[in-house]
Amino acid sequence: MDSALKALAEPHRREILRLVWSRELPATDIASHFDEVTRSAISQHLGVLREAELVIERRDGTRRLYRANRDEMARVRTFLDEYWTGGLQRLKEAAEAATDEQDREH
């Protein structure tokens, strides 16, 4: 999970995931969406996403095609949902404990 979260922390990688969410694209098409980023840098970003299992790479001759790994993205979302929900629950419990302590003091 750590590698997925680290991969998602970078804005260009999130944009790449948006591009390949609903369709498979070759690396050259992905790179063409980024004027300010070199093709080499996009290749490195794709490597990070692949290592984190957030994208799936398929070779078609000499081309490499990429698509989002929706199963892995679902696992990341579940993790974040549980983390967020758990954090809110802990915050609620802390607020209730503080209120209870104030009530006892008065």
Q: Supply the range of the domain harboring residue 38.
A: 2-105
Give the Cα separation of 101 and 106 in Å (integer).
9
How many CB atoms lie under 10 A from the CB of residue 31? 20
Number of domains the chain contains: 1
Which residue is listed with tokens 């260009």? 12
- The predicted structure's pLDDT at residue 92: 64
- The predicted structure's pLDDT at residue 73: 93
Give the Cα separation of 106 and 104 in Å (integer).
5
Kindly report the CATH number assigned to the domain that includes residue 62: 1.10.10.10
Per-residue pLDDT for the chain (106 aa), expressed as one digit of tens each?
Answer: 788 989 999 999 999 999 999 999 999 999 999 999 999 999 999 999 999 999 999 999 999 999 999 999 999 888 888 877 766 666 666 676 767 666 677 6
- The predicted structure's pLDDT at residue 11: 94
- The predicted structure's pLDDT at residue 85: 73
